[in-house]
Structure 1
Amino acid sequence: MRSSDDRVYLAPVDHLRAVAAVLVVLYHGCQLLSARIEGRRFVPATDWLYSANPAATLVFEGHTGVALFMVLSGFIFTVGAYGRPVRYGRFLTNRLLRIYPLYLVVALLGLATQVTLPTFQDLLRILTFATPAQPYGGVFWTLCVEMQFYLVFPLLCRLLAERGPGALLRLLAAVFLLRALVWLSSPAPEPHTASLYLGLAGRIDQFLLGMLAAWVYVHHRDRLRARWLPPVALALALGLLWSFNQVHGFVSDSPLKLAWSGAEGAVWALVVAAYVAGARENGGGRLSRGAARLGEISFSVYLTHFMVLTVIGEWGWFPAALPPVWAAFAVTLLVALPLTVAVSFLTYHAIELPFLRLRRPYTGAPPTAEPPRPRQRESYRGR
């Protein structure tokens, strides 16, 4: 799986990374800049954007790119490590080499925007990703959730290999039940679900569903290659996001939101498995290569786009002939996204890539099959 199939496997994964990164940039651009055009600070409860158009809701609910990233994390690591022993220390070291260098640069630059000298508590918050109040820190919470998942992934991967998908399905059911009990036991008259959105307690479904998608991909890849499956999976994702937008799901504290993480993760897991499995039939033209390159630098896009949007918001020029939402979308698509890609290309090669080259393989050789035991004499006598 790790040799001859790598070229087939990595390109479609990078395509999906690119989609996730672009969704997040468009989402933040439309939501934040449209409020900025109208001269106010964006407040989700009152300024959230809604539309009956499914294409528009895909952008307005583009935070779903985070869910896609998390499903991809579970999928990628499981495909690479399934059936192999994971060296825990190397695995975590590789994860830190992947995340920490660029994150520290962005976080420290955000800290430099303050007029006071940084304190020890400020530095401690940076080391633990607890810096959402920074001007560029709106996405740091996802890194904290990712690191929490990395801590338990080797155990979950071994559980999947030894006990099968049923073990993860039972874990999913247990997490959902415990999450509902926590919500029901809250003393608040209308319990908030924001902590479930921002923490592993509400996001582990998406990692687990990514792992389950990887198991299906490894064992039933041929069945996933039906041509109708990717468009059907994408239609389900669009329909779910449209429904979520219509019921004002992001700002709602409805008990139905307890199941949102799992539902969102399930449709993206289906999209990931179907798209990657069908990638053998996909062309390798310029569009594919360009999307793969964008996916390769998607982490830089994710961490730097807030900087670009902040500069554009302070710059304050927007096409006056367009309604605020359309103006924000146009500026994000035509200005913010290209600038972010340009900045990310530089940060990837200057900051990320040197550390990525320090990573070492973290999986051992798959265990050899146990030789068949010789039959006992009693078995011959029984014949």
Structure 2
Amino acid sequence: MQYLRGLAACAVVCFHVSEQFGGPFNVGAAGVDVFFVISGFIMWVTTAGRPADPWRFMSRRITRIVPLYWIVTLLTATGILLKPQFFYDHFLSVANFVGSLFFLPVLQDDALHPIVIQGWTLCYEMMFYLVFTLVLFVGERWRFVVLVGALVAIVALHFVLPAGYAHAFTDPVVIEFAAGVVVGRLWLQGARLSLGAALAVSGAGLLLLAAGTPFDADLPRALLWGLPAALIVAGAAFAERVRPFKPTALPTFLGDASYSIYLWHVAVGVLATGVVLRIGIPAALQPATILVATLALSAMLYLIVEKPLIGLLHPQGPKGAAKASNAAAAGAAARPAKALF
């Protein structure tokens, strides 16, 4: 899970840099779908079989997600005010600024459009956390059925509701959280695949992504990228259970830094682009230079901003999503993830 989080964040950065230069890497946006499936998996695994504490669950999710998001939103809004020409497709208004802070940004073409444009995903994350919090009040015997049923019902409403916030928040992408929950339940129940079968499942997901149609295809995102993402996550979880491995430093660090990389990369990419153009980097080298600079600076901001925030707000907090992954390999219940997206 830790490695996948890092890869997913890097894929989204690659997508945005490719888009900036008219490149073909639309499939990089599927990193978001991998995040959604992982979120469902981790939330289920870290709460099942434990005393339910809905208020603590929600408070920890808020303190984990919101402070950094607010910082990036404030700095992005400042950047838009100072250099609006550098922030293409961003929309700044008082209403959108306030709405973005509370995960109710303006709608454009029936889609959520916060100040931090990639923050639309956090709107769905927070909705999922809210649903999950409410389900924690249900007895554990019925919790899985109620949670998956609620997420399916939310998606079903999308097809009958008129355009507006309700229609936007019931987008079929919500079903990707349910897919992660299902994988997490199977994992906790001791389901097993051989190493070859698990790798084949992940490989099938990767092949489906590689063979996918462009972003504006007629297929719903939940099928186009959500299904492959679920296969990739499921295969990875069961493969690690069969063949545990010792984590290596760089992929583990990228997993830790994935939330910062995801949140900072657009604003940092604007800065990197400005520097690259100013110093006259040859056009052929600009995409790679901007990509490397964006990843490096965003990861650095994890160390400078996010990690101290975690230490301040979660002084006795869990040790990180890597422990969840290691616990999976051992066949034990995973510990709560420190830096879950």
Are 2:253 and 1:308 aligned?
A: no
Cα distance in 1, alignment partners of residues 265 and 114 from structure 2:
16
Change beyond 3 A, Cα 1:353–1:126: farther
Are 2:177 and 1:207 aligned?
A: yes
Cα distance in 2, alignment partners of residues 158 and 271 from structure 1:
31
Q: Match for 1:241: what amino acid?
A: L
Across the two proteins, how many residue pairs are aligned to each other?
A: 298
**Aligned residue number for residue 124 of structure 2:** 145
Gaps of 5+ in 1: 1-12, 36-48, 51-58, 187-191, 361-383
Deviates more, 1:200-209 or 1:265-274: 265-274
Match of 2:283 among 313, 320, 328: 320
Q: What SS is found at the alignment partner of 2:292?
A: helix
Shift of 1:133: 5.7
Cα distance in 1, alignment partners of residues 216 and 166 from structure 2:
13
Query: Taking CA–CA contacts closer than 8 Å with sequence separation of 6 or more, which of the two structures ends up with the larger relative contact order?
Result: 1
Q: Match for 1:349: what amino acid?
A: K
CA contact (8 A) 2:41 2:181 kept: yes
Q: Match for 2:176: what amino acid?
A: Q
CA contact (8 A) 1:308 1:339 kept: yes
Shift of 1:67: 0.8
Q: Match for 1:90: what amino acid?
A: R
CA contact (8 A) 1:148 1:200 kept: no
RMSD: 3.3
Deviates more, 1:347-356 or 1:167-176: 167-176
Q: What SS is found at the alignment partner of 1:152?
A: helix
**Aligned residue number for residue 249 of structure 2:** 289
Change beyond 3 A, Cα 1:344–1:168: closer
Cα distance in 2, alignment partners of residues 23 and 333 from structure 1:
11
Match of 1:241 among 209, 214, 218: 209
Gaps of 5+ in 2: 84-91, 107-112, 319-341
Match of 2:232 among 251, 271, 276: 271
CA contact (8 A) 2:203 2:232 kept: no
Answer with 1 or 2: which has the greater Rg. 1
Are 2:19 and 1:31 aligned?
A: yes
CA contact (8 A) 1:25 1:332 kept: no
Q: What SS is found at the alignment partner of 1:331?
A: helix
Cα distance in 2, alignment partners of residues 147 and 175 from structure 1:
14
1:83-126 superposed Cα distances (whole Å, 9 cap, x missing partner) = 3342121111101110111111111112223269x986465224
Q: Match for 2:7: what amino acid?
A: V
Cα distance in 1, alignment partners of residues 67 and 124 from structure 2:
17
How many percent of aligned residue pairs carry the same amino acid?
27
CA contact (8 A) 1:97 1:359 kept: no
Deviates more, 1:340-349 or 1:162-171: 162-171
Question: TM-score with structure 2 length normalisation?
Answer: 0.75
Q: What SS is found at the alignment partner of 1:27?
A: helix
Cα distance in 2, alignment partners of residues 320 and 206 from structure 1:
38
